[in-house]
Structure 1
């Protein structure tokens, strides 16, 4: 029987803004419990677009507790989300017209300086690294900002990106082609996560293709954890979805020794494709580690499974890589007006086409 990937099986100035929050990390990067890595001078911010003229939540927007089993297992409580009740089109237009600036202008003016300074930090890091190839990426993610706590401005937050299937189909089949975004064709890929005894604060990600004829994986790229340099979460109060803009770097290992490479290859080649297990891969007893150094700790496919916590979640995600802006910043870093204009143009497309879907949290 042909292998079936898990995801194909049935079964204005008055808009609220939190102060910029610089995360103080040690120079060698500090790993969080979820293996998300933040750079030494990373920036994390939240603000909202669509508040009333007094800078308050409009009357149709409220904080609602929602039931999300995967989140509640981690936090022990229900997260809160800003949801709007039925919003008459005339009211929505009126609220937006109250702003002197458009939503894309508001977002650009709020994030531009952080984006430029974060890119400068990335450039500095690239000059310091010799054993890794560093590639910056700016992405726009769509989902809902989740708040955890009791007071809005003191909330911890996370970003929930599991999007309804109908939204994904609409984006990939209709919106993206119509506005010039290139949709990367769905591929049968696995990201096998490895722990490394020599890098206890990092996780190695092995990108693998499925060789269907041989029912095995083929390794084609080895990366360390993404490093986040800027994360800006934006609650879009007149939309169904929120927006996250994130600048991160991929660190591609380029100086592995032959024996290190062989150990990793052995782990990948010993994987067994199995659509009946979480993650879609399994290893025979004793085969999930190699060389007393590398061990399999997780798999990311269309669904995600963490072997360390035995927790899995089916996930459907949509995000855009804003490659043109990355290129512009690298080439025209002193021309902030050009970068601002480009960012506004992309944000207008995002605001008009990517932030609406059927209600899926409540």
Structure 2
């Protein structure tokens, strides 16, 4: 979503609206906070009303959470480590015994998920529409997206270590840990969803797309990140600007650890020309992380205003019908500031049917809820495999 100026992000005189708490029956481990939540998404903007939450899904008896759930250490080579901390994921203690965990799971978890996110989804959309109207951004595109990946936890304190030794993983333990959401999925799971799930749903191939991403810092607007989508130029050795955005904004993010399943700008011509010149000086280089390089001392714009700090190269395929769209993406990213890079395979499920209903002037909340339940059931039944890894 395009940039919302900070002074226009809040409705003057309007009362503060708080997100609704999660139902107690969902999980004992529920976080529902504002934009200081630990489960923040990298390189994205948040409004003053952004709702961020995490919860676990699946257990029939939440009182048995500590005895049925534990941590699993993951290979640090597979993930971007945070200050050398080893990433951990939630798993069932019945790992390797499908029948054992099945007896402990609820039969219709998608209904509880839908009930948990419904009010926050509607509230977030109301905030978004208000902010769009105030900033006069009628053409901004909104979306509802489900991502597949792994919820990771970092940073075990001495108290947490003692709790883990006693096999008493609790909400208190999880609250003391930092978390993130990792969107990389195994190649086998990528193949399964693209071939089996897409075929079962009867989705048609829509398009393939290759893009390069360049994120710029702005020395005059230090709070802003300029995101440039680029395509390969005709000479196949350069890239050219395709689309530009300021601070993509998320109004709501709900991360879920699913137990018993696995898968594991203000557009002034002078500014645009400066950005185009910077993009045009990039050289394609498939041997480097992110697939791009700049001549010596050319990673800054000629006016010194913009600096390249993140780059990425993605290839994607999409399949769709009238209400859903699956996007399969291979991404290669690099951060100049930290000199780190990552290669990931990602799956997104976009839900344009829900967005269309939300945009109606006479939007029916019951219809939105029914669509949400149906889409969640589809994901649960077809996209999440039986197993023990945390998945969202």
Matching residue of 1:190: 212
- CA distance in 2: counterparts of 1:86 and 1:344, whole angstroms: 28
Matching residue of 1:14: 25
> What SS does the corresponding residue of 1:57 show, helix, strand or coil?
helix
Of the three residues 278, 282, 297, the one matched with 1:286 is: 297
Which structure 1 residue ranges, 5 or more long, are not aligned?
Answer: 1-11, 26-31, 243-252
Deviates more, 1:131-140 or 1:270-279: 131-140
Q: Are 2:49 and 1:41 equivalent residues in the alignment?
A: yes
- CA distance in 2: counterparts of 1:190 and 1:145, whole angstroms: 27
Which structure 2 residue ranges, 5 or more long, are not aligned?
Answer: 1-22, 161-172, 314-330
Report deviation, 1:284. Answer: 0.4
Matching residue of 1:250: none
Q: Are 2:248 and 1:240 equivalent residues in the alignment?
A: no
> What SS does the corresponding residue of 2:65 show, helix, strand or coil?
coil
- CA distance in 2: counterparts of 1:180 and 1:103, whole angstroms: 25
Report deviation, 1:333. Answer: 6.2
> What SS does the corresponding residue of 1:324 show, helix, strand or coil?
helix
- CA distance in 1: counterparts of 2:41 and 2:389, whole angstroms: 28
Matching residue of 2:129: 123
- Alignment of structure 1 residues 253-268 onto 2, 5 Å: 253=265, 255-268=266-279
Matching residue of 1:298: 310
CA contact (8 A) 1:24 1:41 kept: no
- CA distance in 2: counterparts of 1:305 and 1:357, whole angstroms: 34
Q: Are 2:113 and 1:107 equivalent residues in the alignment?
A: yes
- CA distance in 2: counterparts of 1:125 and 1:257, whole angstroms: 22
Report deviation, 1:331. Answer: 1.0
Matching residue of 2:233: 211
**Alignment TM-score, normalising by the size of structure 1:** 0.82
Of the three residues 163, 167, 179, the one matched with 1:157 is: 179
Distance 1:92 1:182, change over 3 A: farther
- CA distance in 1: counterparts of 2:221 and 2:47, whole angstroms: 16
CA contact (8 A) 2:89 2:389 kept: no
**Alignment TM-score, normalising by the size of structure 2:** 0.76
Distance 1:274 1:19, change over 3 A: closer
Residues matched between the structures, number: 330
